[in-house]
Amino acid sequence: MNDTTAMVPQTDQELIPTPYLDDLPRRRSDFDTFCDALDYAAKGKRGFNFHDPRGKLIRVYPYSELREDALIAAKRLIAMGVAAGDRITLVAETGPDFAALFCGAIYAGALPVPLPLPTSFGGKDSYIDQIAVQMRSAEPKWLFYPEELAGMAIAAAEQQGCKAMSWEQFASQPAPEIKLPRPKPDDLCFLQYSSGSTRFPHGVAITHKGLVANLASHAHGMKFRETDRCISWLPWYHDMGLVGCFLSMIGNQVSTDFLRTEDFARRPLAWLDMISRNPGTSCSFSPSFGYDICARRVSSQTHVAERFDLSRWVLAGNGADMIRPDVMQGFVEAFADAGFQASSFMPSYGLAESTLAVTLMPPGEGIRVELVEEERLSGSPRDLSRPARYRAIVNCGKVVRGMELEIRGENSEILGDHRIGKVWCRGSSVMHSYFRDPEATEACMVDGWLDTGDMGYMVDGYLFIVGRAKDMIIINGKNHWPQDIEWAVEQLPGFHQGDIAAFALETEGGEEVPAVLVHCRISDPVDRKRLHGDIREKVRSITGMNCVVELVPPRSLPRTSSGKLSRAKAKKLYLDGEIEPLELAA
């Protein structure tokens, strides 16, 4: 890597970002391998641009420079004994160091494996255990990390028994002239672990052919235009950030501006400031909670039109979690005066096992919902003695190029429109396998078809996602979706998205009951008890039965590395006594 790879301000003079327009003809990832994609992107002027916490540009990194650094990194890795097929784990810090080393590992024929950065939940030991268990699955030869994480990274490497080195140490290694291997389309390209990977992680093995096929589906599905530029705060250790806003931008030659995830968390409106300053048309993705945070940071007295110009934000992607139509509407109401249009929203559905995208809403159609009776979602007959209750299900778009989709019933029969079942997909970008885990691979792959684990239904070629099959709460033969319970409680005053985790608990008598853990910001025990009763009644109105309600301290519910609420981990921590409920008045 050259001496300027690290993300420090390049000079005191004003930096000029990489352009959104380029003389290099755009190719929609029609390459044989990812190496071919980067080789081509490096012929143009586009590239990455890194910003500080306030959104100020501090590092310009054209694809030509990225390729040069990646080739040097590849030679260093091979000189250090890295062979084709070896795994290289990297802490996925948003910046040139990770970008060059990730691409360099691919040029060297090794398999890069991005690891998450620490989160505020769980502390040092939890982070060490998290990355160590993923490393145990990947069996890497090296772990590379930013210097400030040296203590935790070295401890995790020692648990696994692999070597560890910081970005700075790696930059001082010799890079002799070595002939680099050229990958074939069917060769493995990288491994990605899902954001929820904990005790039994599954490394999703992606081939070059599968990666470039999915990157091509992005460009065709989103109808990239010459003036498009991506703005992203998404983490590079999650598939939507890594594949959608890092690798796809190279494969489709799109200039991109990055705000670090941790900086977005502290100053979310810096994201919108960067979009406002973009002279081209903007493409930017976020889970629902990102839009929610921004809308809540803007008060009704704020003159958004004076600060923001969101009129050129033409692709506002939604994905990585269940899409909340109420949250999206709240964002529209908050930023309509700044020029944001609801038709810019682009719902999507994808997962790491399909590299990323499975469906995308055609540009300009915005968010469309269907109101579905809860009885239909639960699979139980309609109770005519009670008023009908509905949930808004978001349309996640049409299947992307090169992918097929089926909704299957309990006996694997293919279901017609409006019938809820398991979502299966097949296509060129479906994973090769779970890395070195044939049993897990066989459990979800049948004749090239992938069991996504999600429940949904089709209507006229559009996919509607209902929820995760494993999250379903089944009590007395009736299905209850946890998000229905969570959303109902969120309607009470004072709650935000992600404040509630719902799941099933087994009583001493062996019966299952619904349980909810709820963030509580009330200090008075009497008021807490009143809130506790309100929540019980709200859940009873949804489920028809009594439930376990526990008020817990704010920020105590765990999230995955991508920011999703982790119901499974919340349940485990609660049962293990690691989440302690607050006391109520006697």
Distances in Å between the alpha carbon of 388 and those of 85, 372, 455?
A: 56, 10, 22
CA nearest neighbour of 92 among 143, 162, 37, 156:
143
262: tokens are: 């941790």
Delineate the domains of the chain, giving CATH numbers in brackets.
Answer: 1-41+60-253 (3.40.50.12780), 268-469 (3.40.50.12780), 472-575 (3.30.300.30)
What DSSP designation does 8 have? S
Residue 1: pLDDT over 50: no
Residue 73: pLDDT over 60: yes
CA nearest neighbour of 233 among 195, 274, 278, 279:
274
Distances in Å between the alpha carbon of 342 and those of 122, 271, 311, 328, 347?
A: 37, 18, 11, 8, 11
- 384 versus 96: the higher-pLDDT residue is 96
What are the phi and psi torsion angles at 110 (to 5°)? Answer: -85, 170
| Residue range 339-394, pLDDT digits in tens | 999 999 999 999 999 999 999 999 999 999 988 876 666 555 556 666 666 778 89
| Residue range 3-17, pLDDT digits in tens | 445 555 555 467 899
- 436 versus 378: the higher-pLDDT residue is 436
pLDDT at 373: 77
Residue type at 344 in one-letter notation = S
| Residue range 115-156, pLDDT digits in tens | 988 875 556 877 888 888 889 999 999 999 999 999 999 999
Read off the pLDDT of each residue in 489-495 and give the average, rounded to a whole number: 79
Residue 246: pLDDT over 90: yes
pLDDT at 476: 56
Read off the pLDDT of each residue in 288-297 and give the average, rounded to a whole number: 89
pLDDT at 561: 57
195: tokens are: 């954001």
How would DSSP label each residue in 476-537? TTEEE-HHHHHHHHHTSTT--TTSEEEEEEE-TTS-EEEEEEEE-----HHHHHHHHHHHHH
- 487 versus 127: the higher-pLDDT residue is 127
CB-based contact 449:406 (threshold 8 Å): yes
Residue 519: pLDDT over 50: yes
CA 136 to chain centre: 23
The contacts of residue 280 (CB under 8 Å, 6+ apart) are 20, 21, 227, 228, 229, 312
Alpha-helical (H) ranges within 5-161 are: 34-41, 63-79, 96-107, 123-138, 150-160
Residue type at 243 in one-letter notation = V
pLDDT at 140: 96
pLDDT at 345: 95
Provide the residue count of the chain.
586
Q: Which of 60-64, 107-111, 455-459 bottoms out in mean pLDDT, i.e. has the lowest?
A: 455-459
How many other C-beta atoms lie within 10 A of the C-beta of residue 385? Answer: 5
What DSSP designation does 490 have? H
Q: What is the mean pLDDT of the chain?
A: 87
pLDDT at 135: 92
156: tokens are: 């995790």
CB-based contact 312:283 (threshold 8 Å): no
| Cα dihedral 176, 178, 184, 186 sign | negative
pLDDT at 335: 95
Q: What percentage of the chain carries pLDDT values higher than 90?
A: 57
62: tokens are: 């054209």
Rounded Cα–Cα distance for residues 234 and 364 (Å): 23
CA nearest neighbour of 204 among 215, 194, 216:
194
- 308 versus 525: the higher-pLDDT residue is 308
Residue type at 538 in one-letter notation = K
Rounded Cα–Cα distance for residues 574 and 183 (Å): 47
Q: Which of 204-208, 467-471, 474-478 bottoms out in mean pLDDT, i.e. has the lowest?
A: 474-478
Residue 255: pLDDT over 80: yes
* Confidence band for 487, pLDDT divided at 50, 70 and 90: confident
2: tokens are: 């050259």
Distances in Å between the alpha carbon of 548 and those of 111, 271, 516, 532?
A: 46, 39, 6, 10
Question: Which pTM was predicted?
Answer: 0.82
Cross-sheet strand order for the sheet of 111-115: 111-115, 87-91, 142-145, 163-166
Rounded Cα–Cα distance for residues 500 and 51 (Å): 33
50: tokens are: 């890194």
CA nearest neighbour of 274 among 38, 52, 476:
52
Cβ neighbourhood burial of 138 (10 Å; 0-12, 13-18, 19+): buried
What are the phi and psi torsion angles at 360 (to 5°)? Answer: -140, 140
pLDDT at 205: 95
How would DSSP label each residue in 236-260? TTSHIIIIIIIIHHHHTT--EEEE-
CB-based contact 245:271 (threshold 8 Å): no
The angle formed by the CA atoms of residues 24, 25 and 30, to the nearest 5 degrees, is 120
Rounded Cα–Cα distance for residues 396 and 368 (Å): 8
Q: What percentage of the chain carries pLDDT values higher than 70?
A: 88
Helix (H) or strand (E) holding 377: helix 374-378
CA nearest neighbour of 430 among 441, 422, 419:
441
Residue 297: pLDDT over 70: yes
pLDDT at 435: 93
CB-based contact 303:272 (threshold 8 Å): no
Phi-psi label, residue 150: left if phi above 0, alpha if psi -120 to 50, beta otherwise: alpha
| Cα dihedral 236, 241, 245, 247 sign | positive
What are the phi and psi torsion angles at 395 (to 5°)? Answer: -75, 120
Dihedral (C-alpha) 106, 107, 110, 115: value to the nearest 10 degrees?
-40
The contacts of residue 251 (CB under 8 Å, 6+ apart) are 29, 31, 34, 37, 41, 211, 212, 215, 216, 219
pLDDT at 53: 93
Rounded Cα–Cα distance for residues 435 and 530 (Å): 50
- 461 versus 549: the higher-pLDDT residue is 461
- 508 versus 534: the higher-pLDDT residue is 534
| Residue range 174-233, pLDDT digits in tens | 999 999 999 999 999 999 987 544 456 789 999 999 999 999 999 999 999 999 999 999
| Residue range 402-420, pLDDT digits in tens | 999 999 988 889 999 988 8
pLDDT at 279: 86
| Residue range 537-556, pLDDT digits in tens | 877 776 766 788 888 888 88
Rounded Cα–Cα distance for residues 328 and 314 (Å): 15
What are the phi and psi torsion angles at 398 (to 5°)? Answer: -105, 155
